[in-house]
Amino acid sequence: MHNVIPRLHQLFSHEDRLLILIDPDPDSIASALALKRLLWHHVTSSIIAPIRPITRPQNERLVQLLGISLTPLAELNPGDYNRKAVVDNQPPHHKSLAAFNYDLVIDHHPLEPETKARLMDIRPEYGATATIMTEYLREARIKPSLKLATALYYGIKTDTANFERAAVEADVRAFHYLFGFTRKPLVRRLEFAEFNIPMLGYFQQALNRFRIRQTRLYAFLGPVNTPDILVILADFFMRAGEITWTIVGGIYQDKLVVIFRNDSLRKNAGRLALRAFGKLGSAGGHAASARAEVPIDRTPLSPIARWQEWQDFIIDRVERHGRLKPHTEGEILAKPAG
């Protein structure tokens, strides 16, 4: 989309008060910051409102380190804002987003048929919304500040998983452009904040409890205050060279949550999650990563069952219903010669 800036400015007048809604992650936070910057002097005020609390340490760190000001949706009165925008998501994606009418929607997820706004810019082929916003800034001839450039740079980096996931030429171009406005040590500090001190307790627990079946590692953590820790631990255990699968479970808000990871060599995590837990709850994902969520009352266990029982339940479901190949590359290699 070319010449989007005049159309963007035409949407708003100087008396407008703009509410920018986001489901907070680095890409949405950065995109909202960029929108705020693009509308400086064009609206009376603009505010960034996350629809849910930030739980990931890396996102917390981004907000803290760059001094980004966010106001939780729950703490403000949406009626005080006569204009509304959503970036990096579309209204049908979430109940809290669907509750409003929008002036502006900018996103890189596939277009939802019910998405409506006075101006929509949806580019499903893009790896990040931050890429779209970088193009806007360039068109508006606005040089990003260190803070804005770093946020956008980091947003592209995380949404494309360092360009391992779907990205297009435009993402690479934006990334390269932003590189000139950011600072490496700042980006590195953001990346290192993968977990926080309270989360280390879960590491300890997982290291004490994990079980290995062939080359598959299982761990059950019990109640967790965020499912993010299950993802972090599933990724962490994949770093052991002998491990080809990690399956990490925990209880979050009356649900058993199970995270699947594999080395993506002829494996399908989404299918395994579905076979193991699809009959009990929701399950699915991609080739290398998947997730299952099962309401506790749909499992044979009581919420107060011991962790060993839960861990055995997960191992049993996956090994029995997952139809895992009896032999893995690891086992074949481990067979004694002759």
Dihedral angle sign, alpha carbons of residues 8, 90, 72, 224: negative
Q: How far is the CB of 300 from Mn ion (least distance, A)?
A: 38
Check: CB of residue 222 under 8 Å from CB of residue 250: yes
Whichever of 144 and 249 has its CB closer to Mn ion, that residue is 144
Shortest distance (Å) from residue 35 CB to Mn ion? 14
Of 224, 223, 278, 221, nearest to 247 (Cα)? 221
CB of 258 to Mn ion, least distance (A): 25
Q: Does 121 bind Mn ion (CB under 5 A)?
A: no
The residue number whose beta carbon is nearest to Mn ion equals 27
CB nearer to Mn ion: give 124 or 180.
Answer: 124
End-to-end CA distance of the chain: 64
Helices (H) and strands (E) in the chain, counts: 13, 11
Query: Rg of the Cα trace of the chain?
Result: 22
H or E element at residue 269: helix 269-277
Nearest-CA neighbor of 156 among 125, 129, 194? 129
- Using CB under 5 A as the binding rule, whether residue 159 contacts Mn ion is answered as yes
88 lines the binding site for Mn ion (CB under 5 A): yes
Q: Which is nearer to Mn ion, 31 or 328 (CB)?
A: 31
Residue 108 Cβ, how far from Mn ion at the closest point, in Å?
6
The helix (H) or strand (E) run that includes residue 21 is: strand 17-22
In this structure, what DSSP letter does residue 180 have? T
**Site track 249-288 with Mn ion (rule: CB under 5 A), x = hit:** ----------------------------------------
Q: How far is the CB of 62 from Mn ion (least distance, A)?
A: 14
Report if residue 135 touches Mn ion, rule: CB under 5 A.
no
- Residues 146 and 190: their CA atoms lie apart, in Å, by 14
Which residue in this structure is represented by tokens 């494996």? 267
Nearest 10 degrees: Cα torsion 124, 129, 132, 133:
160
Nearer to Mn ion, 103 or 159 (CB): 159
Q: Which is nearer to Mn ion, 54 or 276 (CB)?
A: 54
Which range in 24-32, 181-189, 208-216, 242-250 contacts Mn ion by CB under 5 A? 24-32
Number of residues that bind Mn ion (CB under 5 A): 4
CB 219, CB 202: distance < 8 Å: no
Q: Which of 27, 103, 121, 171 binds Mn ion (CB under 5 A)?
A: 27
Q: Which stretch binds Mn ion (CB under 5 A): 33-41, 60-68, 84-92, 329-337?
A: 84-92
- Applying CB under 5 A, which residues contact Mn ion? 27, 88, 129, 159
